[in-house]
Amino acid sequence: MNGLPYMCLILYLISIIHTACQETSQKRLPNVLFIAVDDLRPELGIYDMEQMVTANFDRLAAKSVTFERAYCQQAVCAPSRNSILTGLRPDALGIYDLSTFFRKKVPEVVTLPQHFKRQGYHTERMGKLYHTGHGNQDDTLSWSKFDFAHSTLLRALPKITRGDTLGLESDFPTLYGKKLPFYCSPEPEAHMTDAMTADHAVERIGKLKDSTFFLAVGFVKPHLPFVAPKKYWDLYDPAAIQIPDTSLPKNMASMALASFGELRKYDNIPAKGPLDEATTRKMIHGYYASVSMIDAQLGKLLDALKENGVEENTIIVLWGDHGYKLGEYASWCKHSNMELDTRVPLFISSPSHAKALKTQSITELVDLYPTLCDLAGVPKPEHLEGQSLVQRLDNPTRNEEDVAISQYPRGPSLGYDRKNQWMGYSIRTERYRYTRWQHYEDPAEVVARELYDHSSSPIATENLASDQECQAQIEALDQQLDAELAKYHLWKP
C-alpha cells in the first residue's frame, strides 16, 4: 500500500520525461523552405555581379553556403525541374521536352516533397515548381495541400488600356496583339504574379509555424517577358548597361546553340539575326529589374521566417532551374550545353552548418534531393542519382575531382524521337567543358565534339576539339565522361 504513491510518482515522472523527449524530438525536426527561380543565371551581387541590386540574396548568402559552380542537368524548365524533384537524371526519366508528365515515364517514383510528406512533413507549394505549361501538369502526390493558383487572382484584376497597349492585365502586356518582351509596368507590385506567390507564402508560414513544413515557393521571373514595376527599373542606369559580345565561338559545332525562337514570338523582335543595341539594352534592363523584383519577394520570405520564430529551425534552399544567355552569342534563351546555360545560382542555409561561406566545388542540382534528406535526418530513397552536399556545407574546399554532367538533345526530327536523335553529353571539369554529340541509340556514332577552356571566363571563345595539342586531353575527357555516364540509369555504353 505504501509503495503505491511512489509507483504513481515514478509513472508520472516517466510520462513527463517521455513528453519532454517527444517535444525535443519535434523541435529538432527542421522545416524546409525550397525556393525555385525561373531563368535565373548567377546575375547577382553575391556572384560578383556588382551592377546588380540584390540585397536580399546577400542576406540569404550571409546565412548560407553559396555554391559558385552549380549546374543543372538539362538547360530547359521541365527536364531540369523533373530531375531535381525526382532525384533522377534526364536519361533515367526519359524526358527531354516540356510536355511529358514525369508520372507517364516513372509512375512509381517518390518525389522529394512526396518523400518528406511520407516522413510526416506538411508539404505545400505555391508558384512554379513543376513545369505546368505546354500540356504538362503538377503532381498532386507531392503535396499535402494543393489549392493555391495565382491565375484565379489574376483573372480578378481589372484590365486597363494605356495608349496603344491593348488588354493589359497584370504582368502580361500586349502591343497590337503580341506580347512585349520587356515592360516597365505601371501596375502595383501586388498585381505581379510573383508578389502574389510571395504574399501567399508569407501567410502560409504564419499558419504553419507550429507544424513541420516543407514549403516550396516557385518564382516565374525573370523568365520572359521581362516585366517589373517602375521602381525596379529605376534601380538601374540604362546608359551603364554593358552590351555583351555577340561573337560565336570559333569552330563551334553546328548543333551547339539553338536559335532564340523563345524570343521571336514577341513584338518588335526581328525574325532572324541579332537584336539592335537599343533593344538589347532594354532587354537586359528588363531582366535586371525582374531579378531585383524577385530579390524583394525573397526578402518577404526571410522576414516571415524571422517574424514567426522559425528562422533558426528552417533549412533554406534556393536554386535557379538553369542559366540564360542575355545576348551572348547573339542569343536570348537557354537550350544548350554551354556554360552560360547550365550554370545556376545555388544557396543552402542550414541552421546546424556553416554560414557566409562560398564554395568553388563543382555541384549538380540532382544533388539537392539527397542533401535535403541528410540535412533533415530522414532516410534517402535508393533510386537517387545525386550525391549529398552536406560535407561541402562545413568544408567548402574545392575538390578538383568533382564534375557535373549536363545534356541536351538535337536532331533532324522536330520532336524527341530517339531513333533520329543526337544527344549532347557535356562534362564540366575544373578547367574544361567538354561536349560529345552522339547518336542516342548508338553512342559510338559521334557527330561532333566541343572543348572549351573556362579557366578565365564563362564565355566560350574557341572550340579546341580539333586542336592537335588537345587530343590527349579529349581522350582523357572521353574516358571520364564514359565512366560518369556508366554510373547512371539506362545508360548504354
Active-site positions read: 77, 131
β-partners of residue 33 are 215, 316
Phi then psi for 368, rounded to 5 degrees? -65, -40
| Closest to 363 (Cα-Cα) out of 328, 403, 329 | 403
Cβ-in-10-Å burial (0-12, 13-18, 19+) of 66 comes to buried
As a whole number of angstroms, the distance between CA 387 and CA 461 comes to 32
Locate 273 and state its grid cell: 539575326
SS3 content of the chain, % helix, strand, coil (to 5): 35, 20, 45
As a whole number of angstroms, the distance between CA 109 and CA 90 comes to 14
Residues present in the chain in total? 493
DSSP structure class, residue 8: H
Q: Between the CA of residue 474 and those of 90, 427, 469, what are the distances in Å?
A: 24, 11, 10
As a whole number of angstroms, the distance between CA 381 and CA 117 comes to 13
Q: Between the CA of residue 315 and those of 64, 376, 426, 453, 489, what are the distances in Å?
A: 10, 8, 31, 36, 30
As a whole number of angstroms, the distance between CA 368 and CA 71 comes to 11
